[in-house]
């Protein structure tokens, strides 16, 4: 079986699921907060935390910076790992307030590599979280890799299941045009496919729009 091109994969996913309009947030800082909160948890849990932060009127860098750790932990408890995540958010808010006069656009300003490294320098922010902020927050073209991406690319036969984050990212960016809108939509579509069809256990191959191109589906 010939391997499908990533462009064809994108086309099939878009045809099946339509535009995902991701990332759901009222502003860039809310998007960044969501990227931290969604680490190791389902988005529905993040939505509860975001709603609590908005209700408390602390969804700004300055408000989070001034908020006590214990208060923040209560507000984001639904997202899990709330102690670690509160520390990350407090640090992020402090840096934005101290070094960038509270301006999120200034914090995310610069070329792709500079912005990405700035984010990676912050405690609690790894490659996936940083890349989400680069793509959805700064609007710069970088391909976000997550567990869904690895699973789907592996089952399609494109990459080994144990391929490192940077290897998966490099593969995608070598086979797709460097387009922010494309990377944005593709990431969201892969997440949707992973939730609906390409599950870690009991995948629904019969309902998958990629099943005619998937080595894993043919082997079942």
Which residues lie closer than 8 Å to 56 by C-beta, 6 or more apart? Answer: 71, 75
Q: How many CB atoms sit inside 10 A of residue 166's CB? A: 10
The model's pTM? 0.94
- Give the pLDDT band of residue 216 (cuts 50, 70, 90): confident
By CB atoms closer than 10 A (0-12, 13-18, 19+), residue 180 is: middle
- Average pLDDT of the chain to the nearest whole number: 96
What is the domain partition of the chain in residue ranges? 6-20+143-219, 28-137
pLDDT of residue 58 exceeding 70, the answer is yes
- Give the pLDDT band of residue 159 (cuts 50, 70, 90): very high
Which residues lie closer than 8 Å to 84 by C-beta, 6 or more apart? Answer: 124
Topology (CATH level 3) of domain 6-20+143-219? Endonuclease Iii, domain 2 (1.10.1670)
pLDDT digits (tens, 9 = 90+) for 143-157: 999 999 999 999 999
pLDDT value at residue 219: 65
> Percentage of the chain surpassing pLDDT 90?
94
pLDDT of residue 2 exceeding 90, the answer is no
CATH of the structural domain 28-137, one choice from 1.10.340.30, 3.40.50.2300, 1.10.12.10, 3.40.50.300: 1.10.340.30
Domains 6-20+143-219 and 28-137 fall in the same CATH topology: no
pLDDT digits (tens, 9 = 90+) for 170-203: 999 999 999 999 999 999 999 999 999 999 999 9
Which residues lie closer than 8 Å to 214 by C-beta, 6 or more apart? Answer: 155, 156, 157, 205, 208
pLDDT value at residue 220: 60
pLDDT value at residue 1: 63
Mapping DSSP onto H, E and C, the string for the chain reads CCCCCHHHHHHHHHHHHCCCCCCCCCCHHHHHHHHHHCCCCCHHHHHHHHHHHHHCCCCCHHHHHHCCHHHHHHHCHHHCCHHHHHHHHHHHHHHHHHHHCCCHHHHCCCCHHHHHHHHHCCCCCCHHHHHHHHHHHCCCCCCCCCHHHHHHHHHHCCCCCCCCHHHHHHHHHHCCCCCHHHHHHHHHHHHHHHHHCCCCCCCCHHHCCCCCCCHHHHHC
């Amino acid at each position: 079986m010939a391997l499908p091109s990533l462009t064809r994969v994108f086309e099939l996913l878009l045809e099946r699921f339509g535009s995902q309009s991701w990332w759901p947030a009222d502003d860039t800082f809310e998007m960044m907060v969501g990227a931290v909160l969604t680490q190791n948890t389902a988005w529905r849990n993040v939505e509860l935390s975001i709603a609590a932060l908005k209700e408390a009127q602390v969804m700004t860098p300055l408000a989070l910076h001034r908020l006590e750790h214990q208060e923040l932990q209560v507000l984001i408890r639904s997202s899990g790992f709330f102690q670690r995540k509160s520390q990350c958010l407090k640090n992020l808010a402090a840096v934005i307030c101290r070094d960038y006069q509270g301006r999120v656009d200034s914090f995310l300003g610069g070329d792709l590599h500079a912005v990405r490294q700035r984010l990676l320098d912050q405690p609690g922010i790894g490659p996936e979280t940083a890349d989400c902020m680069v793509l959805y927050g700064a609007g710069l073209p970088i391909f976000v890799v997550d567990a869904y991406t690895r699973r789907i690319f592996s089952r399609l036969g494109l990459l080994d299941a144990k391929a490192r984050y940077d290897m998966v990212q490099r593969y995608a960016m070598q086979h797709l045009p460097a387009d922010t809108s494309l990377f944005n939509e593709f990431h969201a579509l892969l997440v949707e496919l992973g939730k609906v069809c390409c599950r870690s256990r009991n995948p629904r191959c019969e309902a998958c729009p990629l099943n005619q191109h998937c080595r894993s589906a043919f082997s079942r």
